[in-house]
A and B are shown apart, each in its own frame.
Chain A
């Protein structure tokens, strides 16, 4: 199985900060990565697919990059509604696997 190692597991940031979340795959997965936001009690919401494509309706402050084994989600200017948990997902092979999650908290 492909392991997705996500870091950090949590972070504290202020409104307006630039936030970077990383995911490392245990083997090369081209650009078959998605990024998800989840708020408490709610279903996940996809932000990014194919490593860098923005899901329709998602604000442009979210961006993704990477290929192969290293992937990054960037929030260019953190907004109050962005405090949530974020997950990466690889869909290159089965079983699909998620990273452990990054909880973004208010500083």
Chain B
């Protein structure tokens, strides 16, 4: 079964850090771009970042540039999002996705609060 499973979310104080992970199975992970998308409570979808197959190209939404880093480990079939200098407005469910197509992960909740 083609599947993505996200993990790593939790409660963190403003200014803190968190690393999200997304494990892939059922497909050749190294052949696809991968994306992160987030959704604040009760709000719409916001694209966050993506990365190409070998990790040499990365793109970010302006609001996270310089604070978030997307990466991948093709040997471990895993995608990551390192989030530093977290702000209250970063609170959201974070989804990983294969090329914004199918599949998507189940989402992992990040809450930034003091």
Question: A44 and B44: CB pair below 8 A?
Answer: no
Chain A, Cβ-Cβ closest to B64: A95
Q: Give the number of chain B interface residues (Cβ < 8 Å).
A: 19
Q: Give the number of chain A interface residues (Cβ < 8 Å).
A: 21
Known A-B contacts A34-B100, A91-B100, A96-B100; A44 and B45 likewise in contact (beta carbons under 8 Å): yes
Question: B100 and A46: CB pair below 8 A?
Answer: yes
Q: Determine if B68 is an interface residue (Cβ-Cβ < 8 Å).
A: no
Distance in Å: Cβ of B91 to nearest Cβ of chain A:
17
Task: Kindly identify which residue among B45, B59, B105, B106 contacts A95, using a CB–CB cutoff of 8 Å.
Answer: B59
CA of A95 to CA of B7 in the docked complex: distance in angstroms? Answer: 24
Task: Kindly identify which residue among A45, A94, A98, A99 contacts B102, using a CB–CB cutoff of 8 Å.
Answer: A45
B35 surroundings in chain A (CB, below 8 A): 96
Known A-B contacts A91-B100, A95-B60; A43 and B105 likewise in contact (beta carbons under 8 Å): yes
Chain A, Cβ-Cβ closest to B59: A94
Q: Determine if A49 is an interface residue (Cβ-Cβ < 8 Å).
A: yes
